[in-house]
Structure 1
């Protein structure tokens, strides 16, 4: 970790009101990301992963909290100031089919952000688009084609190229391979890993696939119902998970050895509604080792070993 984190998030919260009911999507989210680090964000659907990614980039406005990027507090920037900051922070969307306009050529899609930012001449912008396509292993001539002419994996490469045209330093990758065939996923993940290392990118990698996260991420944040359950390095998290929720998630990872012993921990029920979250620890209604005190105590995220944090009142889980 560097002395000063590249991205610092403190007490981030996001609330919505729907038909008079308050929905607590995020509450008390705090974490750091060092420059050049890849941090994974994992959890079940409905845990708030995408909301964190979009709130960090102010694609949705946080209800409260602080997001500091390279020493600049983003939540207080005006729209014009944020627009000037956006080239340094880019987003890779989950759905490669819905995120590319069918009415625009690939060249127009890739140069749109440059045009909005007033960067370069038309020729210079198109040169950057061609270069970005080559970086993601697509032909430069693809600038003249349309999205429907490409496969899902190729479209996601175009989505990655769109982010790269602005030469970002920080990328939020939101489930970038979940919509792709399994045979294509590894290719795109390897591409992202190569680009991250070659360009020195800092990345928040959102996924529900813990095997993918282990492969690409330096550290992992485990999220449940809008709260952080555990933060640790990938090595520590996968070798010595500390939170019951993390253990349940890891137990579901398929093993390449069908004869290997399994200790599958199946969570009962569904993730609760953010309109009616459990009292105390939000995970307690599905936790296999919950105590009576868990219904009355909101556990703080505390360091239980060097660099490893968990939000659980129990100290006897080994």
Structure 2
């Protein structure tokens, strides 16, 4: 498998300015985010609600416009594209939304939903578009007769399969999966995750997988990025991160994963307080207000993301915690 980055993100920032009718502060949702995803790999993006995970996914695909930074997909600068160029590029990059019901129009049949992107891109004849949509339904293990039915006729798990099928109809190379199983029952989550993993391997997809569930991320991802208040705290290969987390925030998140052994004794690291507002972030290290190991120096400069081992980097000044 090639290790050359297929997706390259450099110094990505997203600031939300107050509206003309508001005098509120600028919300700095993302600050200087940089990472790569090699072709055919899955990178997981984890963190608490409000950390900026969805903002990264939508900024990469320009569903919202980034404030600054560069996003390259297959060597092409997505952030510099015109509207027309971006429309053509969307064949290669697709989004799977968190809420399958809200993302599917109740007024359109499943066939219309699946072929809408093909219609916009003017791909194939009407018969060819239907055939491609039916192949996508087959790929997500739904019957062909789903083509003429409506979203409300399906269960939550089936609707998410439809959302996955919609992303596949354009035969993309890169997919952002934004909390794709968080709205599903636990019994259905495993089915959808296994389906995604199988499709990713079989089709050679490159994927950014966004989730707050670290157990799911461990199963499906090759590399994991830990995000807190719009900044990367730690990044490492999944096996390395779970075996040897080096940032206090990562350790706290991992300590909250339930153990399959009810008799096992695990040392919990409880985070106190809530994640601060991105409109008024702490100075220095943004995690310092909740970090049990914070010292006075943490309020100074923002810690750089430094490599502690090959492919493993963290943003923390406390080298004694390694």
Is the TM-score greater than 0.5?
Answer: yes
CA-to-partner distance for each residue in 1:133-177, whole Å, 9 max, x for gaps?
Answer: 000000011101000000000000000000000000000000000
* Alpha-carbon separation, structure 1, partners of 2:270 and 2:59: 31
1:109 is paired with a residue whose SS is helix
User: Which residue does 2:49 correspond to in 1?
Assistant: 45
User: Which residue does 2:273 correspond to in 1?
Assistant: 269
User: Which residue does 2:7 correspond to in 1?
Assistant: 7
Q: Does 1:60 align with 2:64?
A: yes
* Alpha-carbon separation, structure 1, partners of 2:301 and 2:246: 18
* Alpha-carbon separation, structure 2, partners of 1:2 and 1:64: 28
1:163 is paired with a residue whose SS is helix
CA-to-partner distance for each residue in 1:246-299, whole Å, 9 max, x for gaps?
Answer: 000000001111110111111010000011100000000000101100001200
Q: Does 1:192 align with 2:196?
A: yes
* Alpha-carbon separation, structure 2, partners of 1:169 and 1:280: 38
Q: Does 1:230 align with 2:202?
A: no
Instruction: Tell me how far 1:2 sits from its aligned partner.
Output: 3.4
> How many residues matched?
318
* Alpha-carbon separation, structure 2, partners of 1:252 and 1:134: 37
CA-to-partner distance for each residue in 1:26-63, whole Å, 9 max, x for gaps?
Answer: 00100000000100000000000000000000000000
Matches within 5 A, 1:143-292: 143-292=147-296
* Alpha-carbon separation, structure 1, partners of 2:320 and 2:62: 40
Q: Does 1:78 align with 2:77?
A: no
Evaluate the alpha carbon distance shift between residue 141 and residue 208 of structure 1 in structure 2; reply closer, same or farther with a 3 A threshold.
same
Q: Does 1:131 align with 2:135?
A: yes
Runs of 4+ off more than 2 Å: 1-4
Bigger shift: 105-114 or 3-12? Answer: 3-12
CA-to-partner distance for each residue in 1:287-314, whole Å, 9 max, x for gaps?
Answer: 0101100001200001001110000011
* Alpha-carbon separation, structure 1, partners of 2:246 and 2:309: 10
Question: Over aligned residue pairs, what C-alpha RMSD do you find?
Answer: 0.8
The unaligned stretches of length 5 or more in structure 1 are none
1:245 is paired with a residue whose SS is helix
Instruction: Tell me how far 1:4 sits from its aligned partner.
Output: 2.9
Contact 2:3 2:39 in 1 (8 A): no
* Alpha-carbon separation, structure 1, partners of 2:4 and 2:193: 28
* Alpha-carbon separation, structure 1, partners of 2:269 and 2:53: 22
